[in-house]
Amino acid sequence: MARETFIHPSAIIEPGAELGAGVKIGPFCHVSSAAKLHDDVELIGHVTIMGDTTLGKGCQVFPQAVLGAPPQNFKHKGGHSTLEVGESCVIREGVTFHAGTDTSRGKTTVGSHGLFMAYSHVAHDSAVGNHVTMANYAGLGGHAEIGDHVIMSGYSAVHQFVRVGHHAFLGGFAAVVGDVIPYGMAVGDRACLRGLNIVGLKRSGMARDDIMALRKAYRMIFAEGSSLEDNAAAVEKAFPSSALVADLVEFVRGRDRRHFTLPLRGKAAAQDDDED
């Protein structure tokens, strides 16, 4: 039996909007003509869906969220751009996701199974992975790249064009102006690396030997006296059979628009402090 779609009488659904089976749209929502809401999406109430925005199956959106607004970018000329959100995301009160810039990437993408707490923000042209958590008031600048399973604590902020590798952890109020390596833990204003996200690695079920290999690779990559590129080459030779270390090295070699978030001088070993 097909699941029925529910639309509250006070909601405005513009002609052309595509609604899947089982969609629920609560009071005073506004859905644009170009929007696509897949099966079982729920807009609880007072939600605004603008422009060419796609919400994947099972997303739940809370009051006052605004998704798909034009980018806050002077380079945008008013042309077509999009917002694409994956499946089963929970988008809490007052969250804002902006569409891409027509003179740039042209789209903002958010993966599946994310939790976006109240008043968090994803800016234009960003690419957010799967299983990402953005706590209250966390924010991304334009063109940010956020890997899978990243956790951004409350009030943390990521500068435009910065990459945050998968399984990284950003502490509360962290101001991140440089790329954060996969599994890294960045804390402070301006944020510095404080070792690896050991707690997160353990929770993910990573084997102890793999964690120890990553710890050693981390210390080698950020050892003083040589460039990151030279250190990465040495790590690659030291761990030829570790796919996890190879992933870390690839991220370091993939530097783009920003520098790296680094440990405090002399602290690369001392702050990676979980020996269990």
The active-site residue, picked from 46, 76, 124, 159, is 124
Token representation of residue 7: 């639309």
Give the Cα separation of 172 and 186 in Å (integer): 10
Mean pLDDT across the stretch 209-229? 95
pLDDT tens digits, one per residue of 40-54: 999 999 999 999 999
How would residue 3 be classed by pLDDT, with cut points 50, 70 and 90? Answer: confident
Active site residue 80: no
pLDDT tens digits, one per residue of 127-179: 999 999 999 999 999 999 999 999 999 999 999 999 999 999 999 999 999 99
Give the Cα separation of 175 and 183 in Å (integer): 17
The active-site residue, picked from 125, 141, 149, 167, is 125
The active-site residue, picked from 51, 100, 142, 147, is 142
pLDDT tens digits, one per residue of 99-113: 999 999 999 999 999
Helix then strand count (H, E) for the chain reads: 4, 28
Active site residue 209: no
On average, the pLDDT of the chain sits at 94
CA-wise closest residue to 45 among 83, 87, 9, 18: 9
Q: How far is CA 198 from CA 57, 135, 151, 185, in A?
A: 32, 20, 13, 9
Does 66 score more than 50 pLDDT?
A: yes
Topology (CATH level 3) of domain 6-146: UDP N-Acetylglucosamine Acyltransferase; domain 1 (2.160.10)
Q: Given this model, what pLDDT does residue 182 score? A: 97
How would residue 268 be classed by pLDDT, with cut points 50, 70 and 90? Answer: low
Domain boundaries, the chain: 6-146, 202-269
Q: Given this model, what pLDDT does residue 270 score? A: 47
Q: Given this model, what pLDDT does residue 92 score? A: 99
Mean pLDDT across the stretch 52-76? 98
Active site residue 125: yes
Is CATH 1.20.1180 what the domain over 202-269 is classified as, yes or no? yes
